[in-house]
Structure 1
Amino acid sequence: MWSWLQFDSLKHHQVFYNYGHRFAYLRHVIIDSQNAFEKHGGEPVEDVLDQERKSELLDLPSGFFSLACEDMPVSHFSGSYLDTWMNVTVSETRTKNKTEVDDVVSGYTLALQRYKYTSLLNTMATVYNAFLTTLVLNVTPPINILIMDGHPYNVMNELWSNVFGKVVRAGHLSGKIKFENMIWNIPEEKSLMLQPAKGSMPFADEFRQFIFSAYGVSSERNVMCGKLSLLFVWRRDYITHARNSKGNVSRKIVNEKELLSAVQKTFPSFDVSGYQMDTFSMKTQLKLVAQTDVLMGMAGSGLTHALFLPQNGAVVEVKSGSLNPTISQFEAMARWRDLKYGSVSIEAQEQDHYVYVPPKDMIDVVKRVVSNMC
């Protein structure tokens, strides 16, 4: 078990537990949403183009959370948004209505705030954080999800409902609501998944199975070296959030067809394909990756699917220009999953958001990882 889970939780009157300053468990907490903020969040992105990011953040008033205790716990969370939530939490004795609530939510509710909500990498990091909290607390879905931000709808939203359960937005709450059991999730930026220098990602294989089980996708695949499945993940323009109304995406590969054809001709017995994955449902994406042996593409969020490759799979990452960290996020994922890894480094800078990838360079790296696999 990794170090922060060895810490004793900081307990306050059996209603508030701080786990290693990473996340919290609250019992019988009341949310007072009356006049807290305008109802918003979850709109089609086309309806809110060019809105400022600050308008998607909830400005929580003091007393938004209240606990059934005589005094407030003294607790901190290393400078994350959980500290902000802590600052607007009051003890129930400081409120006038101790028991008058409009609704009671039983079971467990996991509250979270998203930052890079359109990114598969950051979304999976937040889902992984939630997965870890359920392991610590020995809680299994269905779990209610309370989204504490006002971001518009994105295809990533379906992950929360499919993996955990009912999703409610704080911006849509009304009145005073009592939650029997609430978890404040590990913040996105604190995720171990976003720390490539770490030697391991705890429970990586269990997390893979957790996601596959939630979507009813089989995780079984027998690698046949004479007929491997190779998948290019293409980066293409699409509207990701309200401040990208033109949908411009950087680091696109200008010669997709040339690359695809070259790899197909080099490996005629292999199944070689390429897709813009973000146009598919998450279930379709997972099905594709579950039957993929070698995942290839430009450095970017799509390569997060390395988390879901079969055992003994491989990742080939294209690194462009200044995007060449000492340890890439996806190289780390390959290491954490015990996958083979190769990279193609492109020194030329982008031109109009496009990069040319020499087919020979790609083929050389694919040959190497395939040789290591088989």
Structure 2
Amino acid sequence: MRYRMRMFVLVYVLVFAGMMLFWWGPSKLHYGMYSTLQQGHSLRTVSIVRDVQAAGVAIDDPAYGYDNYTSNFWNHSTAFCDGRFIGYSRLLAILRNVVLDFKFARGQKGGENISDVINQPEEEEFYKYLPGFFKLPCKEPIEYNFIGDSHHLNSWIENALETDGKVFSREAGIYIDWTIAITRYEYANLYHTMTDYYNAFLMLKMFRLNSKDVTILIIDGHPSGGLDATWRYLFGKVKRVSDFRKPTLFKNMIWSMAGYESPLDDHFLPNVPYIEEFREFFLFHYDVSSSYKLNCKRLNILLIWRHDYLAHPRNPSGKVSRKINNEFELLSKMQETFRTHNVRGIQIDKYPMKKQLQMIAKTDILIGMHGAGLSHTLFLPKHSGLLEMFSMYYTAENRHFRAMAGWRGLHYRNWENMDYEREVMEESTNVDEAEVARLTVEISEQMCPKSS
């Protein structure tokens, strides 16, 4: 009987372990790495330390591996070519002394005016590669793959990277700055571009870099967009890969993780690393104060509208959905409810980014339909609140901004339309003004509780 019982327990443990391994396989590995609730880990082995040294990272810096997030990456690194290629957690990589040769790429140059490329197919804005686009001076094959939606990184490995062992010609260019290479998938959308900004910021943290000493290398052929200038505010230099017309050696190139693999895009994470530091980083580089204090006698309440605008070549009409059909009535109701406070309604994307941030950094309650503009939740004051509205055809199951508010500890409410008669051609919604006002009052009372 004891033998049978032991065998039963052993089988149970093995089955359970197998299920956990299936669930926490490579595709789930990064979830655990992003959780700041995990216990810290020490550096893995002496060989990994040597690999990192070869990549140019100063591990004698006492801050090296100083937190759970970066140490988890160090613990899951794989090196090739004597440390010239190191992959981390199948999400990103660093290449040392890699040569980039743009003649081995096919696609649009990028940076054109949208009006010149109207109706341009999106596939023309993503490069097709030939072996030799990237070259490493070694003969070892790079047998590495990236997880999830890291499509361009896997394409760089499979189609673009060549290890031929040849010595680089000194007649070509040499780029000594640290370089973060990115491919943008939804470059005109503030939310998805925010994941790229944030990922690049994480690379600064991981490799202990100063933004002014880093070049952002854009490896795509998208035309010029309204969010491009922000890269130049946040980082020292921004280059398009098409700017390099001759082979160029990059001393240290980071292949940043894909936007779709960003912690910001995993809405069920309990925490996200450096979220408040990212806010400070962003506001600092735009010279916007982050010291705004709550004044319960004069709240700043900002409603943001979604209006049509031309953002990319595939939507020449500029039509957008999820608009508020009764903007004037909603604004009037809010001003009536909050008579002694400052209540405004604006189309925020009409303003330059600096002006947007100046307004957001002094907003106590932000209100808007679910949409990319609510990415500004990341830059609200720490005491503030978000009221998110949803149409019937874009429900509250979309947790993008609820997650952001949760990570930052902000007050959050949402209103979701359940009445078809409030929808106008799946384009705009007549929101319930009274209910939105009531929910806003709830947020204000949480922020400013009345004394008993």
Q: How big is the shift at 1:101?
A: 4.7
3-state SS of paired residue (1:63): coil
3-state SS of paired residue (2:314): coil
Partners in 2 of 1:337 and 1:107 — Cα distance? 33
- Residue 224 (structure 2) pairs with residue 153 (structure 1): yes
Q: How big is the shift at 1:265?
A: 1.2
Q: Which amino acid aligns with 1:248?
A: K
Partners in 2 of 1:19 and 1:216 — Cα distance? 33
In structure 2, the partner of 1:141 is 211
Q: How big is the shift at 1:316?
A: 0.3
Q: How big is the shift at 1:100?
A: 4.3
Partners in 2 of 1:152 and 1:279 — Cα distance? 19
Q: Which amino acid aligns with 1:341?
A: Y
Q: Which amino acid aligns with 1:10?
A: T
In structure 2, the partner of 1:204 is 275
Q: 1:293 to 1:368 in 2, by over 3 A?
A: same
Partners in 2 of 1:252 and 1:197 — Cα distance? 27
Aligned residue pairs total 372
Structure 1: segments with no counterpart, 5+ residues: none
Q: CA contact under 8 A between 1:297 and 1:316: conserved in structure 2?
A: yes
Aligned residue runs from structure 1 range 1-374, under 5 A: 1-2=68-69, 4-5=72-73, 7-12=75-80, 13-34=82-103, 36-37=105-106, 40-79=109-148, 80=150, 81-87=152-158, 88-93=160-165, 95=166, 98-142=168-212, 143-326=214-397, 328-349=399-420, 350-352=423-425, 353-374=427-448
Q: How big is the shift at 1:165?
A: 2.1
Q: Runs of 4 or more off by more than 4 Å in structure 1?
A: none
Partners in 1 of 2:171 and 2:410 — Cα distance? 52
Partners in 2 of 1:22 and 1:351 — Cα distance? 42
Q: Which has the higher helix share?
A: 2
Q: CA contact under 8 A between 2:179 and 2:215: conserved in structure 1?
A: yes
RMSD (Å) for aligned C-alpha atoms: 1.5
1:5-44 deviations in Å (ceiling 9; x for gaps): 3523212212111111111111111001125336621111
Q: Which amino acid aligns with 2:225?
A: N
Partners in 2 of 1:39 and 1:101 — Cα distance? 27
Q: 1:6 to 1:167 in 2, by over 3 A?
A: closer
Partners in 2 of 1:39 and 1:162 — Cα distance? 25
3-state SS of paired residue (1:274): strand
Q: CA contact under 8 A between 2:90 and 2:146: conserved in structure 1?
A: yes
Q: CA contact under 8 A between 2:387 and 2:415: conserved in structure 1?
A: yes
3-state SS of paired residue (2:320): coil
State, as a whole percentage, how many aligned pairs show the same letter: 35
Partners in 1 of 2:367 and 2:180 — Cα distance? 34
> How high is the TM-score relative to the length of structure 1?
0.96
Partners in 2 of 1:110 and 1:5 — Cα distance? 17
Structure 2: segments with no counterpart, 5+ residues: 1-67
Q: 1:153 to 1:135 in 2, by over 3 A?
A: same
Q: Which amino acid aligns with 2:379?
A: F
Partners in 1 of 2:86 and 2:345 — Cα distance? 47
Q: 1:327 to 1:154 in 2, by over 3 A?
A: closer
Q: CA contact under 8 A between 2:107 and 2:127: conserved in structure 1?
A: no
3-state SS of paired residue (1:226): coil
Partners in 2 of 1:370 and 1:53 — Cα distance? 44
Partners in 1 of 2:74 and 2:387 — Cα distance? 36
Q: How big is the shift at 1:272?
A: 0.7
> How high is the TM-score relative to the length of structure 2?
0.80
Partners in 2 of 1:114 and 1:327 — Cα distance? 22
Partners in 2 of 1:262 and 1:101 — Cα distance? 69
Q: CA contact under 8 A between 1:240 and 1:247: conserved in structure 2?
A: yes
1:255-277 deviations in Å (ceiling 9; x for gaps): 11111111011111111111111
Partners in 2 of 1:118 and 1:358 — Cα distance? 30
Q: CA contact under 8 A between 2:107 and 2:128: conserved in structure 1?
A: no
Partners in 1 of 2:104 and 2:92 — Cα distance? 27
Higher Rg of the two aligned structures: 2
Q: Which amino acid aligns with 1:200?
A: N
Q: How big is the shift at 1:70?
A: 3.0
Partners in 2 of 1:196 and 1:36 — Cα distance? 35
Q: Which amino acid aligns with 2:245?
A: S
Partners in 2 of 1:152 and 1:59 — Cα distance? 17
1:153-200 deviations in Å (ceiling 9; x for gaps): 111111111101211112332010111111111101101101111111
Q: Which amino acid aligns with 2:205?
A: L
Partners in 2 of 1:83 and 1:38 — Cα distance? 18
3-state SS of paired residue (1:86): helix
Q: Which amino acid aligns with 2:191?
A: L
Q: CA contact under 8 A between 2:108 and 2:222: conserved in structure 1?
A: no
Q: CA contact under 8 A between 1:104 and 1:180: conserved in structure 2?
A: yes
